[in-house]
Structures are given as C-alpha cells and as structure tokens.
Amino acid sequence: MKSKDGMTLIVKTMTRLILWMIFLYGAYIILHGHLTPGGGFGGGVVLALAFLSILLAYGRSFTLKWLNMHFLEEFEASSILLFLIVGILGILAGGVFLINFIDHGSVFHLLSAGTIPLLNIIIGIKVGVSLFLVVYALSELKLEKGEDL
Amino acid sequence: MTVYLLCFVLFLVGLYGVLTKRDLVKIILSLSIMAYAANLFLILFAYKDGAIYPILSKGTESAVMVDPLPQALVLTSIVIELGTTALLVAIVVRLFQKYKTFDITKIRRLSG
Amino acid sequence: MPIEAWLIFLLIFMILGSIAALEIKDILSSIIAVGVVGLGVSLAFLFLQAPDLAIVQFLFEIFALIILVRAFVKKDYHQEEPSKINKILIGVTLITLTAIFILSISVFRALPQFGQPLMHIADHYLNQGILETGSANLVTSIILDYRAYDTLGEVTVLFTAILGSLTILRIKSRDRQKGGVTT
C-alpha cells in the first residue's frame, strides 16, 4: 500500500490542493491575535501542522530536497534575536525594555496596538518552525529493520 | 468545592502513575496527566458566575468578564509542557536504543 | 443545566479515562486515552469562558500525541508483570495517597467559593487594558504588553527544550567502532 516515498497518488494530489488553505488559516490566526482568540502560539502550531502534512504525504527524501533544513534551523534561531531587538528598540525609544513604542492607532482595526502584532508574528514563526524540526528529527530514526517514515 | 476536589483526584491519579509504574512510556503519560490537572485547577480559580470571555467587541464593552490573569499564566504553562514532553521523548528513545528495554529496573548501569 | 454540573460530569469522565490510560497494556490505546483526557480539558476550558486556551490546549495536545505515537508504537513492545515486592509497593502508595486526599479536604475548604474570584489586579486590567494598549483581546494584551518579559522567558525555555531534543536525537554514536569516544 505504501510506496517507497510517501503515500498514494490521491493523497499527494489532495495535499497539494489544500496546503495553501492550511497556511492561510495559520496566518489568519497569527495576524488577528489582538482581535480574536488565538494569537502567536495557536497559529504557530497550525503552520507546523502544514509543514508536517508535506512530510507525511510526500516522504522524507522529497521533503529533504524541497526544504532546506539548515536554513530552517538558522531561521528559527534568528527569530529569538528579532524578539530581543524589538525589546532593545523599546529601550532606545521609550526608556524601558519591551515597551509598546509604536503608535496605537484606532481600536478594532487590523493595524493597531503597537508592537503586539509584530511580536505575534515573531512568536508564530518560531513555534511553527521548531515544532516541525522536532518531528522531522524524530522521523529520521529507523524503527523496524529498514522501514522509514 | 466539589470541583476543586475532583481536580485534585485527577492530579493524584497522575502521581500514582509516576510512583508505581515500571514502564518509561507510562511515566511520560502520567506526567502529562498531572500537567493537565494543574492547568485546569488554575482556570477553575478564575471563573466568575454569569460572566463572559475577556475579549472586547463592539457590543460587549461594559459586560462582566472573567479573570484574564490566570489565563495568561496557563497559556505559558501549556507551551512549556510541550517542550518538556518533546525532550523526555527524545531521552527515552535514546535509552531504548542503548538498553533495548523500557523497564526502569533494568536500566541501572551508568556507563558510556 | 448550571456550569458546575457539566464540569463535574467532565471531571469524572477524565478521571475514568486517566485510570484506563494507566492500566491498559496496549500502548496505542493508552496514548489515545491520554488524548481523550486532554480533549476533556479543552472542553472544560470552553465551559469556563476561555476560548484562547481551548484552541491552544487542543492543538498542543494533538502535537504531543503525534510525537508519542511516532516514537513508541512499534511491533516488539511488551510490558513486564509486577513482581511480589512491587505489589506491596503499590498497596503502600495507594494508602498514602488516600491519606493525603483525606487530609487535604480541610485545605480546600479554605479556598474562595467556586464562582467568586478575588480580582484585585484584574480589575485594573479589565478597565484600563484597551486604553493603555489598544488591543481588544485582553489576554493577548497581558502576555504581550503588561507581562512581555514572562513571554520572553517562555520563548527561551521552549527554544532550549527543542534545541536539547534535536541535539539528543541527532548524535551519530561512534563509540561502537572506536571504543569510547562520542561527540
């Protein structure tokens, strides 16, 4: 039933059709974090599940060719640096670490509330990429004799 | 008060699993159950009778809301529990590859 | 039905599910039973008016299930039978935990009643939150504006834990060929 790399043709075609919807849903939860429930953490997990569906449907060797794992690891580590840079910019602009220094704007609009959407995006990207990397590293183990993911 | 006591019983079931099971996978599952019970207990503190969720919209500007502070703390706790579970799973997988068993009474030699 | 009746029903369901998760011998069934306990917690969060937490708890618990099933469900998995000294230990543990539960009933009587919290600081967050931060979601305004330093600590802990698990899972042990040295 399972071929050597991934699942059958129906699963691969359906995954390719609905993958952009999962990414869009995760981005929606992250960006509207200050208006509706959700925020950076919930949206980050949805992004990780979108990457995971590629890994499950297409097999590990295809994912290794398509996504650069080294770039993803550096991307995850640099998002912590971005968080600290936003905090240090708060010292330069307001006097306190991590102060909300951007203009608040009007309430209930998408571009409001200062640094809160920016921090939501940083946290969402970090959580998504790191959870996908854990499952990818776990899938490199050989469970049975010679059977891969 | 009954609700608090039942939540404590759930925590004690998890504690029983950690203390008496000899299987490493069951110990990880019991730690997860203890974490769920602790988070639920904190949110049970913050409930107010007849109030709604703490998100403002155009119609609920002056409604009575539940306490938002324990919800922020429990959000942090849920995320950290996933990181801890991932680290525990990695350690147990490595132990199985070296000792070929999940039994804690047979994993006693601190070598290598 | 009042909220307290729903919560008592959910809690009894979760206690039965967790006892089943500990005693079943098949590993896939016990992992699914822990998943059921997590879903019950997510439903309880919905009843207690916390939709943020319900979303996050549900998604993170599904991810924990994915990691557990991928790592531990295999063909040659069997459990050991408890020996005689282990049965004595189980009996002593049960008696001790029952004693702890009976002694703690008086502690729980001193807590405030369910449904009337003491909201000292929360009054300030609820009244002034939208004026000072500009965001409509008050839980997000607490974790990213009033207490953003705690969120920085949490992101650091998550980063360290994931980094540790990645390092452990990727060591290619060379001590079988060379005799003692691993990187």
For residue B17, is it within any domain?
yes
Q: For position C102, what pLDDT does the model report?
A: 92
In total, how many domains does chain C have?
2
What does the pLDDT read at residue A126? Answer: 93
Q: Residue A76 is part of which domain span?
A: 9-138
Give percent above pLDDT 90 in chain A.
38
Task: Give the C-alpha separation, B83 to C22, whole Å.
Answer: 22
| C46 interface with B at CB cutoff 8 Å | no
Mean pLDDT across A24-53: 92
- For the stretch A38-47, pLDDT in tens is 889 999 999 9
Contact between A37 and B58 using a beta-carbon 8 Å cutoff: no
Residue B55 has pLDDT above 50, yes or no: yes
Span C78-100, average pLDDT: 81
Instruction: Look at residue A117 and tell me if it is in a domain.
Output: yes
- Domain stop point among C52, C75, C98: C75
pLDDT for the residue numbered C120: 81
Neighbours of chain B (3+ CB pairs under 8 A): A, C
Task: Answer whether residue A144 is part of any domain.
Answer: no
Answer whether residue B11 is part of any domain.
Answer: yes
Give B46's contacts (C-beta < 8 A, 6+ positions apart). B66, B67, B68, B69, B70, B71, C48, C50, C117
Question: What is the distance between the alpha carbons of residues C21 and B10, in angstroms, rounded to a whole number?
Answer: 12
Q: Contact C148/A98, CB-based, under 8 Å? A: yes
pLDDT, position C133: 81
CB contact under 8 A, C169 and A138: yes
pLDDT tens for each residue of A84-100: 998 888 888 877 787 77
Asked if residue B111 is part of any domain, the answer here is no
Chain C: partners with 3+ C-beta pairs within 8 Å: A, B
Domain assignment present for residue B80? The answer is yes
pLDDT score of B21 more than 80: yes
Task: Give a yes or no: residue A147 inside a domain.
Answer: no
pLDDT digits (tens, 9 = 90+) for C124-144: 888 888 888 888 888 998 998
Percentage of chain A beyond pLDDT 70 is 91
List b or e across C3-31, with b for residues whose CB sees 16 or more CB atoms inside 10 angstroms.
beeebeebbeebbebbbbbbeeeebeebb
Cβ of C141 within 8 Å of Cβ of A113? The answer is yes
C134/A126 CB distance under 8 A: no
What lies within 8 Å, CB to CB, of C163 at 6+ separation is none
- Residues of B within 8 A of A127 (CB-CB) are 79
DSSP label at residue A139: T
Within a domain: C168: yes
Mutate to test the interface with B, among A41, A130, A140 (most CBs of B within 10 A): A41
**What is the predicted pLDDT for the residue at A146?**
40
What is the spatial distance between Cα C13 and Cα C54, in angstroms, rounded to a whole number?
18
Indicate whether B112 belongs to any domain. Answer: no
Show which of residues 131-150 on chain C sit within 8 Å of chain B, judged by CB atoms: 136-139, 142-143, 147, 150
Per-residue pLDDT at C1: 66
At residue C83 the predicted structure's pLDDT band, cuts being 50, 70 and 90, is: low
Domain count along chain A: 1
The whole model's pTM is what?
0.89
In this prediction, residue C82 carries a pLDDT of 62
- Residue A89 domain-assigned (yes or no): yes
> Do C5 and C71 belong to one domain?
yes
Is C19 touching B (CB cutoff 8 A)?
A: yes
Of the listed ranges A45-54, A62-71, C41-50, the least confidently predicted one is A62-71
In a domain, B20, yes or no: yes
Q: Is B20 on the interface with C (CB under 8 A)?
A: yes
pLDDT over threshold 70, residue C179? no
Residue B76's domain comprises: 2-99
Question: A46 in a domain, yes or no?
Answer: yes
Lowest mean pLDDT among A122-131, A134-143, C35-44: A134-143
Report if residue C18 sits inside a domain: yes
On average, the pLDDT of chain A sits at 84
Query: Which residues neighbour A55 within 8 Å (Cβ) at sequence distance 6 or greater?
Result: A63, A132, A135, A136, A139, A149
Minimal CA separation from B54 to chain A, in Å: 10
Q: What is the mean pLDDT of residues A4-31?
A: 89
- Which chain C positions have a beta carbon within 8 Å of A76's beta carbon? 159
Comparing A54 with A146, the larger pLDDT belongs to: A54
What domain range includes position C143? 118-174
The set of residues, in sequence order, having a beta carbon less than 8 Å from that of A145 and lying 6+ positions away, is none
Contacts A141 to B, Cβ<8 Å: 93
Q: What is residue B36's predicted lDDT score, i.e. its pLDDT?
A: 95
Check which CATH number belongs to the domain holding B32 and give it.
1.10.287.3510
Number of folded domains that form chain B: 1
The ipTM of this complex is 0.90
